[in-house]
Amino acid sequence: MPNSVSEVKQEMLKEIGVENSEELYAQIIPDRLRLKHRMNLPKPLAAEADLRRHVEQILSKNIDCNKNLSFLSLS
């Protein structure tokens, strides 16, 4: 994300006139509608090679016509 660089983010927040993004959220979403905990997601795969390996491992579980005899016409 291009604007995740801290200096850029600060510059933009300054232009908006707030200290941080929390100040914006506080003006938009009431506290009772806020998610109070971190989303329960697996640890991110930051390296593209790791991500690729992970996704390809999942896709390799597919049973396709290259691995199995198929009588479906291909044309």
- List of residues contacting other proteins (CB under 8 A): 1-4, 8-9, 11-13, 15-17, 21, 24-25, 27-30, 32-35, 38-46, 48, 51, 54-55, 59, 61
CB of 26 to other proteins, least distance (A): 9
Angle at 66 between CA 53 and CA 68, to 5 degrees: 115
Instruction: List the structure tokens of 19.
Output: 């200290």
Minimum distance between the CB of residue 75 and other proteins, rounded to whole angstroms?
18
16, 17, 18, 23 alpha-carbon torsion, rounded to 10°: -70
Q: How far is the CB of 57 from other proteins (least distance, A)?
A: 12
